[in-house]
Amino acid sequence: MAEQPNATVEERLGPNPNEKLVKVFDSEQESEAMVVKGLLDSASIENDLASASLLQDAFPSMGGMIILVREEDAAKARSLIAEYRQQPGSDDGGDEVDDDETKG
């Protein structure tokens, strides 16, 4: 019976609050932060999406949203985020090209 409580702890969403967390992503746009959160979720990297306004004491020059992960997952998370940013269409410039194509 001791296995059942352990299973529930493992299934719990979000990182353990007693573990060291590091910031791997920040954005002024909540929608972009949600996309990155989904990317990390799909890679089974536990993460926490938080409003930077709640963390002004820790990160005074930030606004918007931040994503925190466990310290041991940070390198993998940053690598996935870098790959996401390199994809065509993941930047704002891709939308402008689409607009030009529809005019001509």
Position 98 scores a pLDDT of: 42
The residue to which tokens 């870098």 are assigned:
82
Per-residue pLDDT of 1-15, as tens digits, reads 444 444 444 444 554
Residue 64 is given by DSSP the state S
> How many other C-beta atoms are found inside a 10 Å radius of the C-beta of residue 66?
21
C-alpha Rg value of the chain to the nearest Å: 17
Parse the chain into domains and list their residue ranges. 13-85
Cα angle value 42/43/44 (rounded, 5°): 90
Alpha helices in 13-92 (DSSP H): 30-42, 74-86
Per-residue pLDDT of 40-98, as tens digits, reads 999 999 999 988 775 556 655 556 899 999 999 999 999 999 999 998 876 544 333 34
Instruction: Report the residue count for the chain.
Output: 104
**CATH, range 13-85:** 3.30.70
